[in-house]
């Protein structure tokens, strides 16, 4: 992980944060594979581990009493998952695999010990909590104020940027293993509405989402749609469709 993958980081903290990430990686257990649908952290139960996702896609989810499901956050390769679980006796949300995944765990007591003796690891964990909050604030703005096209454009560019960091994009685009129902569950839309908007964006040549693959045809238009919901970092980061001069391209 490089300095550029820590959005809005204070420059003087960069070296220490990279050191903490390396120390944390060395302390984690060997990678473990889990099938699609596997639950790593279950709502209402105690969790014993924090995880780093190495391959596949995972999500933090909540199911309402009537069966409606909200995907609160999507995790991609390289992400730390379940950090707040080390502080809570019962977990408010479920952490589950959207695809087959590979993840490296570290037990809570080991991580707490490491945080206590290493300023660098302490900073890395603190930054992860801050980054999770930044992303959640963005989605709060999207769910509260964004229309369907804006939400979908923002999601696609968020995934594009984060997959770029993980080395999982190509000139042609990127893979999107989420179903339209999962996209709807993440964006607070119906699956019919998601299908309709994706068709409209495809027909207008902006972006195509077909058979689990995303291909951007008009980045300037996709970025224009997403910009109102993006924060200052994303609006200036080219991998998220932004303009490094500070305005959406």
CA atoms within 13 A on the CB side of 38: 13
Residue 81 forms part of a structural domain: yes
Residue 54 forms part of a structural domain: yes
Residues 97 and 159 in one domain: no
In 3D, which of 160, 150, 159 has the Cα closest to residue 225? 150
User: Which stretches of the chain score pLDDT less than 50?
Assistant: 247-249
Residues 131 and 160 in one domain: no
Q: Dmax of the chain from CA atoms?
A: 56
Helix axes 108-117, 14-27, angle to 10 degrees: 140
146's tokens = 């964004």
Strands 101-107 and 32-34: antiparallel
Domain span at residue 106 reads 3-138
What was the pLDDT predicted at 2? 55
Residue 248 forms part of a structural domain: no
Residues 129 and 188 in one domain: no
What was the pLDDT predicted at 203? 97
Of 113, 138, 163, which closes a domain?
A: 138
Residue 247 forms part of a structural domain: no
Residues 52 and 107 in one domain: yes
Q: How many CB atoms lie within 10 A of CB 86?
A: 18
What was the pLDDT predicted at 198? 97
What was the pLDDT predicted at 190? 96
Residue 204 forms part of a structural domain: yes
Tally the domains of the chain: 2
> CATH no. for residue 55?
2.60.120.10
pLDDT tens-digit readout, 211-247: 999 999 999 999 999 999 999 999 999 999 988 765 4
* Rounded CA separation 17/176 (Å): 30
């Amino acid at each position: 992980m490089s300095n550029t993958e820590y959005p809005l980081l204070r420059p003087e903290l960069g070296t220490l944060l990279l050191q903490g990430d390396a120390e944390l990686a060395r302390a984690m257990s060997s990678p473990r594979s889990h099938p699609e649908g596997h639950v790593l952290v279950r709502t209402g139960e105690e969790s014993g581990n924090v995880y780093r996702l190495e391959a596949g896609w995972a999500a933090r989810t909540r199911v309402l009493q009537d069966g409606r499901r909200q995907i609160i956050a999507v995790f991609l390769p390289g992400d730390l998952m379940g950090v707040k679980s080390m502080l809570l006796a019962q977990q408010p949300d479920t952490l589950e695999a959207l695809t087959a995944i590979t993840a490296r765990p570290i037990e809570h007591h080991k991580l707490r010990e490491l945080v206590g003796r290493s300023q660098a690891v302490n900073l890395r964990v603190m930054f992860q909590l801050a980054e999770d909050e930044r992303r959640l604030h963005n989605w709060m703005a999207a769910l509260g104020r964004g229309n369907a096209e804006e939400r979908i454009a923002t999601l696609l560019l968020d995934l594009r940027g984060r997959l770029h960091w993980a080395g999982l994009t190509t000139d042609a685009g990127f893979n999107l293993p989420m179903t339209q129902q999962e996209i709807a569950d993440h964006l607070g839309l119906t699956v019919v509405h998601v299908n309709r908007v994706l068709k409209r964006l495809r027909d207008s040549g902006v972006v195509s989402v077909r058979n689990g693959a995303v291909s951007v045809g008009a980045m300037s238009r996709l970025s224009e749609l997403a910009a109102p919901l993006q924060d200052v970092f994303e609006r200036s980061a080219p991998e998220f469709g932004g303009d490094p001069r500070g305005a959406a391209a």
